[in-house]
Amino acid sequence: MLYSKLTAAQKRIRLSELLQPGAAVQFPGAYTPISAKLVEEQGFSGLYVSGAVLANELALPDIGLTTLTEVAQRAGQIARVTDLPAIVDADTGFGEPMNVARTIQELENAGLAGCHLEDQVNPKRCGHLDNKAVVDLATATQRVAAAASARRDPNFLIMARTDVRGVEGAGGLRAAVDRAKALVDAGADAIFPEAMKDLSEFEAVCAAVDVPVLANMTEFG
């Protein structure tokens, strides 16, 4: 098949069915359509389109240089060829809350099942780099609220990422937990706590919110 046998709406429903309390599903990274096909052939439940890898494939560092057009095009090419739900990294939403709203609708149009938005300043930096900075809580929640109100398919997953843990030092975990709660209140369907130090910190985030939590597993952080 040149295309998925499922519609984008069907894949979004499938994603919501997967993310049930107590579930743990693996979404390997895919950055090309052919790698997405390989993930599907291996029997995984879904796939993840990394913003860092999309930037690197363009020979760019992951510091906010990619555009909405580039990300939506490549992510859409990936979503087109697989029956798996695909979640894409949408960085900071490519601008202010109004830009975030447009980002959500472009990613919906591209056939993605969901995306995550982060609370770094714009331009952002890779979550594993030093010298990151995050926006204030009001700006972070405005981004999520704009995303949630802009989607037309209620099953399109809005995941909020927070980088506060790697910025706030000793109080980073408490700050990350507090921000995660606020992001859920603003409309986030899931939380991506970046730069957790160990399993106990993931447990603290999971205990604080009643939504799915993403663990970003890489070889370097």
Q: Is 118 a catalytic residue?
A: yes
Catalytically annotated residue among 40, 48, 151, 155? 48
For β-strands 157-162 and 114-118, DSSP reports them as parallel
How many other C-beta atoms can be found within 10 angstroms of the C-beta atom of residue 25?
13
Catalytically annotated residue among 40, 106, 108, 118? 118
Catalytically annotated residue among 12, 74, 119, 126? 126
Task: Return the beta strands (E) in 35-179 as ranges.
Answer: 47-49, 86-89, 114-118, 157-162
Catalytically annotated residue among 12, 14, 116, 165? 116
Catalytically annotated residue among 14, 31, 62, 165? 62
Q: Is 185 a catalytic residue?
A: no
Q: Is 83 a catalytic residue?
A: no
DSSP string, 186-218: TT-SEEEETT--SHHHHHHHHHH-SS-B-----
In the three-class reduction of DSSP (H, G, I as helix; E, B as strand; rest coil), residue 47 is classed as strand
For β-strands 157-162 and 190-193, DSSP reports them as parallel
Q: Is 115 a catalytic residue?
A: no
Q: Is 91 a catalytic residue?
A: yes
What's the sign of the alpha-carbon dihedral 214, 182, 204, 196? positive
Catalytically annotated residue among 74, 143, 151, 161? 161
Q: Is 126 a catalytic residue?
A: yes
Q: Is 178 a catalytic residue?
A: no
What's the sign of the alpha-carbon dihedral 188, 190, 196, 199? positive
Q: Is 17 a catalytic residue?
A: no
What's the sign of the alpha-carbon dihedral 189, 194, 199, 205? negative
Catalytically annotated residue among 40, 89, 119, 163? 89
- Catalytic residues, by residue number, are 48, 62, 89, 91, 116, 118, 126, 161, 194, 216
